[in-house]
């Protein structure tokens, strides 16, 4: 038997035995995160979400987000512009967040029941060009993002501020969504050699 298979078998055997130990370590982890929040603010907790392997839902709940039941959150998850906590984030039941999902909390983000954000999907709730000369022509704008129940965002899809992706809608990989997507619609980004757009 090769070493990786042997280690996997040992892990399957040991995991049930070690669960009580993990629960005790969980209490220690909460105390450690409180101390980090006191020291570094919510940015320190956002960094925890980028490095932890299995406590994403618990950490989000600890710091103000609503996270429903049976969610599948694969880290790292990147949260920016959270202010003082994650209270602008609402995640329903049975939501899937893929690896490297990015959520901008300059405004509210709602991800309803059974929605899926594939790996590297991005939800952007603001635009701000900074203090340079463009700021006169393009002032800061914010708007909530809503991913409705059962909607699917493909890998690398980006949803901009003020946009709602309707129930059971499909957003293709790498698509940039700048306006609302109706329920049950499918939108895709341009593909090499093909015109892009809505279907």
pLDDT tens digit sequence for 39-49: 999 999 999 99
Distance CA 128, CA 106 (A): 11
User: Does some domain include residue 12?
Assistant: no
User: Does some domain include residue 30?
Assistant: no
User: Does some domain include residue 136?
Assistant: yes
How many residues would you count in the chain?
199
User: Does some domain include residue 108?
Assistant: yes
What's the confidence (pLDDT) of residue 72? 95
pTM above 0.85, yes or no: no
CATH of the domain at 157: 2.160.10.10
What's the confidence (pLDDT) of residue 3? 59
- Interval 60-76 mean pLDDT: 95
Distance CA 192, CA 157 (A): 16
Name, in order, each residue with C-beta under 8 angstroms of 30's C-beta and a sequence gap of 6 or more.
Answer: 62
Q: How many structural domains does the chain have?
A: 1
User: Does some domain include residue 15?
Assistant: no
Cβ neighbours around 7 below 10 Å, total: 11
Name, in order, each residue with C-beta under 8 angstroms of 18's C-beta and a sequence gap of 6 or more.
Answer: none
Cis before 76 (ω within 30): yes
């Amino acid at each position: 038997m090769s070493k990786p298979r042997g280690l996997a078998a040992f892990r399957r055997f040991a995991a049930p035995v070690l669960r009580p130990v993990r629960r005790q370590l969980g209490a220690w982890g909460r105390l450690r995160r409180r101390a980090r929040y006191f020291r570094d603010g919510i940015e320190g907790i956002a960094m925890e979400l980028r490095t932890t392997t299995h406590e994403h839902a618990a950490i989000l709940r600890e710091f103000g987000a609503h996270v429903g039941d049976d969610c599948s959150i694969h880290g790292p998850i990147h949260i920016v512009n959270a202010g003082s906590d994650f209270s602008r984030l609402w995640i329903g039941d049975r939501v899937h967040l893929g690896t490297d999902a990015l959520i901008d909390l300059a405004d509210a983000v709602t991800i309803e029941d059974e929605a899926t954000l594939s790996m590297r999907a991005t939800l952007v709730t603001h635009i701000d060009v900074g203090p340079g000369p463009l700021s006169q022509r393009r002032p800061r704008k914010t708007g909530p993002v809503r991913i409705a129940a059962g909607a699917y965002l493909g890998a690398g899809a980006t949803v901009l501020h003020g946009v709602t992706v309707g129930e059971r809608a499909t957003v293709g990989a790498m698509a940039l969504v700048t306006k609302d997507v109706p329920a049950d619609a499918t939108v895709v980004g341009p593909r090499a050699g093909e015109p892009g757009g809505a279907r």
